[in-house]
Amino acid sequence: MLVAVLSGFGLSLAAPWAVRVGRLRGWLFALLPLLLTLYFLSFTPAVMTGEAITASYNWVPSLGIQLSFYLDGLSWLFALLVSGTGIFIFIYAGAYMADEPLIGRFYAYILIFMASMLGLVLADNLLTLFIFWELTSFSSYLLIGFKHKDEAARKAALQALLITSGGGLALMAGLILLGLAGNSFEISALVAGECLTEHPFYVPTLLLILAGAFTKSAQVPFHFWLPGAMTAPSPVSAYLHSATMVKAGIYLLARFTPILGGTALWHLLLPAVGGLTMLVGAYLSLRQVDLKRILAYSTISSLGALVFLLGLDIPLAAQAAIVFLIVHSMYKGALFLIAGILEHETGTRDVTALGGLARIMPLVALAAGFAALSMAGIPPFFGFVSKELLYETTLGLQDNAILFTTLAVIANMMMVAVAVLVFVRPFTGQLVETPQQPHAVPLGLWLGPLALGLGSLAAGLVLAQVGAILIAPAVSAVVARPTAVKLALWHGVNPMLILSILTVLGGLVVYRYRHSYRRISNRLDMGRQWGPAKWYEFGLEAMLSLGRLQTRVLQHGYLRIYLLTINLVFFVLVGLTLVTKHDFAGQLPSTDLRVHEAVIAAIIAVAMIVVLFARSRLAAVVSLGVVGYGIALIFVFFGAPDLAMTQFAIETLTVILMVLILYRLPPFATFSSRGQRIRDAVIALSVGALITTLVLVSTTVTQPTLLTSYFAENSVPAAKGRNIVNVILVDFRGLDTLGEITVLGIAALGVYALLRLRTPSQRKVDLTATVETELVAEQDKSKEVEAM
Amino acid sequence: MKPAEKDNTIPSLILLTATRYLVPVLLLFSLFLLTRGHNEPGGGFVGGLVAGAAFALYGIAHTVHDARRLLRFPPRVLIGIGLLVAVGSGLFSLFYRRPFMTGIWSVVEVPVIGKVGTPGIFDIGVFITVLGMVLQIVFELMEE
Amino acid sequence: MTIVLAFLVGGLYAGGLYMMMRRSIVKLIMGLILLSYATTLLIFTVGGLTRAAPPIVPAGVSEPPVPFADPVPQALILTAIVISFGVLAFAVVLIEQTHRSVGTDDSNNLRGIEGEL
């Protein structure tokens, strides 16, 4: 199973080369989802008996993180959805983006997405789930911004990323709380474990996880990123933003229903948010004229309906949700692909500018017709079954049955109107002149939508099998007990059928009066001025201004003032802590001092003073060398031969370095006034005094560490080395040393780059000129700072 | 590579003579420090520094161009080689299904050096990296 | 000796910081070197001074004879010394190049250009 999940990542690496095969590349890439679909289908018998397949790999054993997968009815259904739609999307993209130069990159991204989505729905470990969850957000960002030269696309991509990954952070906190509360990070163990709804962590856990799910699945008020994401190429909209990724939030809710569901809070929040989203999405959808935006808002509405259903307190709700999930993925995926075909062929997505296309592209029109009929809920299409189930669920509720049913009917009426709109406008009537001359559509383009459209019809015809094979195992996983599912088209004349008929008629009426609807809703428009999209923009802008302001205040560019500030803060904070928290009762270290040591210390001190007051650079460098060699001698006296040798060698090299570079540097200059020097000296001396105190204080409490004795005991037996310092460096803490020598390499390469990438003389002149003008402008400011 | 500028000052005869004997001795000493480092004072860091100092000395006495020829590899390549050796020594343990950088030791003893193990190879990597770093900096500055 | 070293470390810190707060970039380098000496010595002193034997296990024994010098601060310092050399080289070359292309050695004039945040 690990191979199945990771194969997409593997192929993604090869994608930039694999696209070289030419026109057939779409079919080639589609082989992977095809193989995956077959692989998942091979689990059908096991899944139907309610068996769960698990696979676990050690990932970070020291942190208890497992790369564990779990395949039950729900995961299986989603995995099939991801890989199954993937087949058609991949074929379609090959034809849709035939002339795209960056097609390799596109396939790489979308393969990453497919693999992450599979990982997400198959993950058993909460942290594994989270990582794949973030990977889907990340690949969605790359795909929305695929047309990276378009500013709108970049902006939309960033918006989607900020919102979904903001939710992702909440989700991570929620998952960790969940793992702590349930004492396990495996979902399967949490489902089987004790009830968590009474746990003190329950409310924060639920709220955080819902925040993750709602942002991902575009629930109000986070819905606005989804219409923005329509800047992505159409296959992406069809795949990520209708069929799979936006359903990740739904998957999460369904997956956690047995763990977190069933409480009053759950039954309050989900229907409220979902219901609101369902209405808002439907309301906004009908106002649009851009085909993809119409579909995007209707997707929001459908996602709302799914959340709404999952929150209802009735066993049938899970069944209605799962059925609607499949129905929606099929028809909405098809419609998005068709929108892409229309744009590709005619050059516009404006429904009011299209018409009569059925004559030119009959097969596409057929597919669109099927999808629209399923969306409108006309028998014998699968959509009809789903709508009946929805009404049966809301009518069966204990409380609020009338309210929720009315909500559902209103939202569905609008969906019917949308379905009519997206089929009737572009395909029927007079052929309208479009920016591009449409011609016959190639096989690669129409195959996907037609297959999905036919699927909507076929599923309606073989209901019993669909119910038993696809739906029942998933529903059983959601309600956490075996559940039989019986689906049928004809239940006789009952309230659901009457409501269905009413919905279709109402939808037709809405469609008939859509112009006045658009006019009135435009007059009532508040969303554009006060909607959440505005809050988002305002928040982003405020954050950036705060950042700029802070940078301007703190990063003023005077190195000395930075140092001054750091030193003062250090002195005040550490000094205060020392005075208030420490009692100076400890024993001072021994005053045992030998003559040669005292001499060395005196030499170092004198040399340092020479450095401070030297007038020539050479004197300063020589004195610095004296300080360094003096320190090396201290190492010799106090049992550190390794250090002494290294210090000697480094000191020699430092002197060579300084001599090489010294005469290229300007001579010592004094820029500061006497007052400033005294101020700096006072601060430097205070910090020095504080450090002396700190050293004295800390040596009074020094005791041998556990580390020391561990290294001393294990150096010879475990690491076979008698020089403990060296053993620490190359063995016990080898990884640190590796990092350190990497830093050395980078520093050396930095020197190389600085010397080789010298500014040419021409640029040098320019730069000097700029700096000089800058200087004039800065002079006033510098005076202010110097006055400090 | 920029060709080294011919120094127009005559190098001191004493320095020239001294380097002829000092450089090989220093290089030998650096290897000595490296090999015995695991058991006595020494090791890759100090060994690399001493070797670097030897080449730098040669460069001062003769020309940087000659020193580069003596070294054969460009110093920045040495940095890369050193890092690769260090990382590679850590990868060894993966073949034994142990975490990255677990020390693996040979069973038989090699004369003079004693048992050979991956920490020793790691130290060689440190040696090469440090040598490369020192010479990268010193040569570049000398050529200026 | 610990007391003497404590004062020496404090003095080196004071001297290094004072030099770094000068506007002359050459003095800044000198300050940087002093500061790295100070830090080396600080770790060494705080790690506990002992005139005892270096942390090396004699042949044939499995543990060093007590008392021995603490190897942990020594390992820390050893890499710190070498790294500070690399960083110093980088800083020196950086400052030299800046001086060459900008033509000033007053750090007050080395500020970024407004708007290039």
ipTM metric:
0.93
Tell me what pLDDT residue A782 has.
44
DSSP string, B51-91: HHHHHHHHHHHS-HHHHHHHH-S-HHHHHHHHHHHHHHHHH
Tell me what pLDDT residue A252 has.
94
Tell me what pLDDT residue B79 has.
93
Answer yes or no: do B83 and A745 touch at CB < 8 A. Answer: yes
Residue from the list C17, C24, C96 with its beta carbon closest to the beta carbon of A664: C96
Residue in A690, C86, C97 with CA at minimum distance from that of residue B75: C86
**pLDDT above 90 (res A204):** yes
Which CATH architecture fits C2-51+68-102? Orthogonal Bundle (1.10)
Neighbours of chain A (3+ CB pairs under 8 A): B, C
Q: What is the pLDDT averaged over residues A187-209?
A: 88
Write the pLDDT tens digit of every residue in C15-25: 999 998 888 88
Instruction: Give the mutation candidate from C61, C68, C74, C82 for the B interface (greatest B CB count, under 10 A).
Output: C82
Write the pLDDT tens digit of every residue in A146-173: 988 888 899 999 999 999 999 999 999 9
Residue from the list A638, A657, A712 with its beta carbon closest to the beta carbon of C50: A638
In a domain, A692, yes or no: no
Neighbours of chain B (3+ CB pairs under 8 A): A, C
**pLDDT above 50 (res A781):** no
Q: How far is B117 from chain C (nearest CA, A)?
A: 18
Residue in C5, C11, C13 with CA at minimum distance from that of residue C51: C5
On whether the CB atoms of residues A680 and C19 are closer than 8 A, the answer is no
Cα separation, A434 vs A352, whole angstroms: 11
**pLDDT above 60 (res A553):** yes
DSSP type of residue C107: G
Q: What is the pLDDT averaged over residues A384-407?
A: 90
Residue from the list C82, C95, C102 with its beta carbon closest to the beta carbon of A771: C102
Cα separation, A600 vs A598, whole angstroms: 5
With residue A66 as reference, give the H or E element that holds it. strand A65-71
Residue from the list A564, A643, A671 with its beta carbon closest to the beta carbon of C23: A671
Cα separation, A136 vs A124, whole angstroms: 17
Closest Cα in chain C to B49: C82
Residue in B88, B71, C115, C53 with CA at minimum distance from that of residue A722: C53
In chain C, which residues have their Cβ closer than 8 Å to the Cβ of B47?
none
The vertex-A587 CA angle with A583 and A593, nearest 5°, equals: 135
Cα separation, B95 vs B92, whole angstroms: 6
Q: Is some CB atom of chain A closer than 8 A to the CB atom of B59?
A: no
Number of A to C CB contacts under 8 A, please give it: 313
Q: What is the pLDDT averaged over residues B35-55?
A: 89
Q: Is some CB atom of chain A closer than 8 A to the CB atom of C54?
A: yes
CB atoms within 10 A of CB A280: 21
Task: Say what percent of chain A tops pLDDT 70.
Answer: 94
Indicate left, alpha or beta for A628 from its phi (over 0: left) and psi (-120 to 50: alpha). Answer: alpha
Beta bridge partners of A290: A350
Tell me what pLDDT residue A719 has.
80
Tell me what pLDDT residue A659 has.
82
User: How many domains is chain A built from?
Assistant: 1
Task: Say what percent of chain B tops pLDDT 90.
Answer: 33
On whether the CB atoms of residues A598 and C8 are closer than 8 A, the answer is no
What are the helix (H) ranges across chain B?
A: 13-36, 44-61, 64-71, 75-95, 118-143
Cα separation, A683 vs C18, whole angstroms: 8
Q: Is some CB atom of chain A closer than 8 A to the CB atom of B82?
A: yes
Write the pLDDT tens digit of every residue in B63-106: 888 889 988 889 989 999 999 999 998 888 888 877 787 777 77
Lowest mean pLDDT among A108-112, A184-188, A630-634, C97-101: C97-101
Cα separation, A298 vs A354, whole angstroms: 20
Answer yes or no: do C82 and B141 touch at CB < 8 A. Answer: no
A 619-638 residues inside an 8 A Cβ radius of C = 620, 624, 627-628, 631, 634-635, 637-638
Cα separation, A619 vs A603, whole angstroms: 15
Q: Is some CB atom of chain C closer than 8 A to the CB atom of B39?
A: yes
Q: Tell me what the pLDDT averaged over chain A comes to.
A: 86
Cα separation, A752 vs B137, whole angstroms: 7
Closest Cα in chain B to C75: B45
Q: What is the pLDDT averaged over residues A292-311?
A: 94
Residue from the list C8, C46, C62 with its beta carbon closest to the beta carbon of A605: C8
Residue in A55, A724, A315, A497 with CA at minimum distance from that of residue C62: A724
Cα–Cα distances (Å) from A740 to A379, C39, C83, in that order, read 70, 17, 7
Neighbours of chain C (3+ CB pairs under 8 A): A, B
With residue A59 as reference, give the H or E element that holds it. strand A53-60
**pLDDT above 60 (res A253):** yes
Tell me what pLDDT residue A788 has.
40
Tell me what pLDDT residue A778 has.
45
Answer yes or no: do A564 and C21 touch at CB < 8 A. Answer: yes
Task: Say what percent of chain B tops pLDDT 70.
Answer: 85
CB atoms within 10 A of CB A138: 18
Q: What are phi and psi of A67, to 5 degrees?
A: -95, 80
The first and second tokens of residue C111, run together, are 């500020």
Closest Cα in chain B to A657: B138
Q: How far is A735 from chain B (nearest CA, A)?
A: 7
Q: What is the pLDDT averaged over residues A425-437?
A: 84
Answer yes or no: do B133 and C86 touch at CB < 8 A. Answer: yes
Write the pLDDT tens digit of every residue in A570-606: 999 999 988 888 777 666 667 778 888 899 999 999 9
Q: Is some CB atom of chain A closer than 8 A to the CB atom of B37?
A: yes
Cα separation, A623 vs A603, whole angstroms: 10
Q: Is some CB atom of chain A closer than 8 A to the CB atom of C91?
A: no
Answer yes or no: do C81 and A728 touch at CB < 8 A. Answer: no
Cα separation, A348 vs A641, whole angstroms: 79
In a domain, A394, yes or no: yes
Number of A to B CB contacts under 8 A, please give it: 138
Q: Is some CB atom of chain C closer than 8 A to the CB atom of A684?
A: yes
**pLDDT above 50 (res B2):** no
Percent helix / strand / coil, chain C, rounded to 5: 65, 5, 30
The vertex-C89 CA angle with A567 and A771, nearest 5°, equals: 70
Cα–Cα distances (Å) from A661 to A298, A569, C86, in that order, read 70, 34, 15
Answer yes or no: do A597 and C1 touch at CB < 8 A. Answer: yes
Lowest mean pLDDT among A417-421, A734-738, B14-18, B135-139: B14-18
Handedness of CA A595, A597, A599, A601 (dihedral sign): negative
In a domain, A384, yes or no: yes
The vertex-C55 CA angle with C52 and C57, nearest 5°, equals: 115
In chain A, which residues have their Cβ closer than 8 Å to the Cβ of C82?
646, 650, 740, 744
Cα separation, A218 vs A778, whole angstroms: 50
Answer yes or no: do C86 and B40 touch at CB < 8 A. Answer: no
Answer yes or no: do A695 and C6 touch at CB < 8 A. Answer: yes
Residue from the list A641, A650, A764 with its beta carbon closest to the beta carbon of C85: A650
Q: What are phi and psi of A567, to 5 degrees?
A: -60, -45
In a domain, A726, yes or no: no
Residue from the list A640, A747, A778 with its beta carbon closest to the beta carbon of C87: A747
Domain boundaries, chain C: 2-51+68-102
Tell me what pLDDT residue A610 has.
93
DSSP string, A661-715: HHTTSPPP---S-HHHHHHHHHHHHHHHHHHHHHHHHHHHH----HHHHHHHHHH
Q: Is some CB atom of chain C closer than 8 A to the CB atom of A683?
A: yes
Residue from the list B41, B49, B137 with its beta carbon closest to the beta carbon of C54: B41
Residue in A359, A302, A362, A303 with CA at minimum distance from that of residue A338: A362
Tell me what pLDDT residue A687 has.
92
Write the pLDDT tens digit of every residue in A693-734: 988 888 777 566 788 888 888 888 888 888 889 889 888 888
Mean pLDDT by runs of 10 across the 117 residues of chain C is 90 93 86 92 87 82 83 90 90 83 73 48
In chain A, which residues have their Cβ closer than 8 Å to the Cβ of C64?
712, 724
Tell me what pLDDT residue A664 has.
77
Cα separation, A64 vs A43, whole angstroms: 29
Instruction: Report long-range pairs for A512-520 (Cβ below 8 Å, ≥24 apart).
Output: A514/A286, A514/A417, A514/A421, A517/A286, A517/A287, A518/A286, A518/A287
The first and second tokens of residue B35, run together, are 């090999």
Which has the higher per-residue pLDDT, A500 or C53?
A500
In a domain, A348, yes or no: yes
Q: Is some CB atom of chain A closer than 8 A to the CB atom of B75?
A: yes
Answer yes or no: do C21 and A708 touch at CB < 8 A. Answer: no
Tell me what pLDDT residue A14 has.
85
The first and second tokens of residue A217, run together, are 């699945």
Tell me what pLDDT residue A173 has.
95
- Domain range for A393: 273-524
Answer yes or no: do C78 and B39 touch at CB < 8 A. Answer: no
Q: How far is A154 from chain C (nearest CA, A)?
A: 22
Q: What is the pLDDT averaged over residues A408-433?
A: 89
pLDDT band at B114 (very low <50, low <70, confident <90, very high): low
Q: Is some CB atom of chain B closer than 8 A to the CB atom of A690?
A: no
On whether the CB atoms of residues A304 and A284 are closer than 8 A, the answer is no
Rg of chain B, C-alpha, whole Å: 18
The reported pTM is 0.71
**pLDDT above 80 (res A662):** no
